[in-house]
Structures are given as structure tokens and as C-alpha cells.
Structure 1
Amino acid sequence: MALTVVLVLAAGFAVHHFWTGRPQDVRAPEVVEAAGSFGEPEPEPEAEAVPSTAAEPGATGPGVPGTAGAVVVVDVSGKVREPGVLRLPAGSRVGDALRAAGGVRPGTALDGLNRARVLVDGEQVVVGGPAGAGPGPGVVPGGGTVAGPPGAAPAAPVSLNTATVEQLDTLPGVGPVLARHIIDYRTQHGGFRSVDELRDVNGIGDRRFADLRNLVRP
């Protein structure tokens, strides 16, 4: 019995040794690609092109915004359907002001009207007024403008209460800086009540006031 048991165990050990020692197929290991080379940054995704909304240089008009929220305030009167004070985008032209005022009344002559002129803040546009009536600076009677070249005396007295910087710049000895001082004084004091108040404007002395007193009006 003991010998039989030993033989069975020996046979089982031999079978196990033979089975574990048989040749087996070996599979090659899988190659895993690295996410990126060590020390090299991963490529960044390409940025999408964003269409530009900037206006072309030199472009003006109501469709071309300038400074955010910039407006000009003009007074349109005369032969238009809806006269009044209008707020228009900076860079608007006379033609834009006429359309905003409801258009020109039928039969109004616009031969002398420069509808392509850029509006300035605070000016008055009179449509169909008598030519040569001298309505004042910033007024466009039937279309033209009273202002002449800078430094030349205007044909009619300049209104200190309605004139723009460009209009005041037409007065002799008045440049853009002094014109701005006049408008600032007008804004701070609620307008000019007399020509003599021009003496109180910064930059206007007795000699300059003597040159201007006959060329301006309140």
C-alpha cells in the first residue's frame, strides 16, 4: 500500500512537472505612445478668426460710430416738416439732420445747401431762409454756412450764445483755445446777457475786447 501511494504521488508530480514545463506562445507587449515628449509643450489650438468691426480710417457719418455715446445737438428750423432740436450721432451730416427733421417741405430750394457738410455741436441749420439775411453763426440759410475762413471777420455779428467753436474761430484774434473759453463761460453762466460780459472770459483783455465788441452780439 505504501509503495502504491508513493508511485501515484511520483506519477502525479511527473505529470505536473511536464505540464508546467511545456513550451508556450509568448505575445509581444503592446507599445503605448507617449502623450508628448518630455519637456516639450503641447501645441496650442489655433485661435479662431474674429471679424473686425472697426471702421475704416477717415470714415464718418451716422453709420460709423466714433467715440462711444458721442452725439451732436443741432437746431433744425425753417422749411422742414418737423423743426426742433435734434440729437444725432457724432459725424452726422446736414443731410442726416434734414431727414431726422422729417425732410424738406416741397418746393424748397436747396441749391446752396451743402448736405454733405459734417455737423458741429450746438449749431443751427435754417432751411429756406433768405440768402444774405445774416441769421448768425452756425445758421445755414437755404443751405450755406455763415462762417468764413479762420481769422476773417464774419459778414454778420456773431452770436455769443449760439456760436460754435468753428464760428468763434472766424473772429479776429480768436483761436480754438479762446473760442473754447468763450463757450465754457457761456455754459457756466447760462449764456451772455450783454457783450460787455466778454471781458470776463479768460484770455480776453481790453485790447482784444475793443477789436471784438462790434463783431459780436449776445
Structure 2
Amino acid sequence: MRSRAQASEHAETVSRRLRLLSAELNGIRPPVEPLALDEPHTHLRELRPAGGEGASGADPAEAEPATTLPPSAESRAVAETLPPKVPVGGRHAARRGSSWLDLSPFCGSVSLTPTTLAVIAVVVAVGLGITAWWVVRDDPGVPVVAPTAGPALATPVTTAGATAPGSGVPSTDVVVDVTGKVRRPGIVVLPPGSRVVDAIKAAGGPRRGADLTGLNRARPVQDGEQIVVGVPAPPGVAASSVPSVPSSPGSTGDLVSLNTATTTELETLPGVGPVTAAAIVDWREANGGFASVDQLLEVDGIGEKTLAQLAPHVTL
């Protein structure tokens, strides 16, 4: 164990060596004084005994530190050129110095904080939503056409040769039945003022070898008449005369309807027996009726000669 005197001598020796070392260092390089802004705990202090340099019995731990050396003029000039040191908290505080957004263009004019930027973003989003809703609302879309109500009463369809109910005005068309040796025998519709020759042309024209003697092709046709072409008319009846309305089927001089006559009525026709009459009825039921007198040629047992005999006596 050292005595207090030995400890005091040891402290003086250490202090003296430190002063000598400092003097040697000052001779090698210019002295660098601590900056005025340096923290006090970084200053180099000189330890001295509490009772003076030669005091005995002083404890080195209880020695009084020496007064801090004042800064030189050169260190003060260097300190004035440096920016002020702002204390920051935390060891990572220096990393927070740079902002996530460079707002240098707005420095001094607008102060944009994160809260302000959030408010601006919300306002822009709301504005875009309102604009989109406005555009969608103004879009007319596909126009829906309302169904038009149909006529309350349909116009009655009148057949050719018939008069409209309540009008009292006859139809302007003329309907005639062209039979005999023509290419397309049947019902033809002609304009008013048409003649027999027009009816024959409408039926396809006469067949080759058809005898038109005794047929007045210049005569005006009348509505509802029957024109027989190339077939000799029965005695006392003109070839193209207008037939009278039959009083009863099967009577003398009356025409027999191919579409409504029974087998008994058909047997009254010249050249038609029970077998031929039954064949006519069977063909009529199988084909839905006769469209022209010339279709009798399709019935079994009827040829050109029989057709020439039947044509003046039958109708549709």
C-alpha cells in the first residue's frame, strides 16, 4: 500500500511528464485549440492536487481539475465559418434529415406537409369520381323505341271481283276463267277494259294446233265469265259467251263444278261413267281440288278427246 506522500509524488510525476509531452508536440506542429462549440467533456483538463502542487497527503482521485484553456483567435475564426450544429435525437436521426419528397422548388412559397398532401390527394380523387359519374349520367345510351300500336281495326281484305262492305263501289279488276287449249288454264285477273286476247295471253297463249275459229278475241271481257279456247262450243252457246248462273247442279245446260260435284252429278257429263266420276273425286281429294279444267288430263281415263267434251260443261 502506498502512502499519501508516495501517491502525491506519483501524481506530480505524471503531470510533469504530460506537460513535457505537450511541449514536445507543440514544437512539432502548431497547437490546435479545442473549438468553442465543442462539448465540455471533450476538453483536455489538467489534474492538480487539491492542496497545491507540493501538498502532501492529497488523494489523486480527489484532485481538482484544471481550468479549460481558452480558444485561440484562429479556432474562433474557423468556428465562425462553420454552420451551427443543431442537436438531433437518436442515433438514426441524421438519416431522417432528407425528406421523402424534394420540396425545394416550393421552399419559401408553399408549405406542403404530409397532411396537406393527403388532403390534396383526397380532393383530386373525389373530383375524378364526380367527373366520371357526370359523364356516365350524361351518356344517352341506346335509345329504346317504343312499340307503335297497331291499327285498331284491320282493313278487310276483299277478293277480286267483290265489293268492299259498305262502299258500294265494285272492284276495278276483272276476273275470268280461261279453259280449253291454253298453256296455263285457270283463273286470270285482268285490268279494266281488257279483251279476250288479253285473257288468252294471261293464260300462257293458245296451244299449238288450237282452233280459234269462232272465238271473238276483240270482245271486251266481263267479270266472272268463262272463255273456252280451241274447243267447239255446244250447240246454241257461243264459245266465249258469259255463262248464266246455274239454277241447280245437274240440270240441262248447267255447268258442273269439279270441286263440289258428287259422283252422281259428274256422271251426267258426256263421256263420264261411274269409274271416271270416282277417279275425278279421288284426284280432287288427293290434290286439294282443281285449279283449272285442264287438270282433268291428270285423271285416269280422261284424254284430250274427253277433255274437249267436258270443258264446255264443267267449271271450278
* Smaller-chain TM-score bracket: 0.3 to 0.5
Q: Which has the larger radius of gyration?
A: 2
Provide the TM-score with structure 1 as the length reference.
0.35
Q: Higher RCO, 1 or 2 (CA under 8 Å, sep at least 6)? A: 1
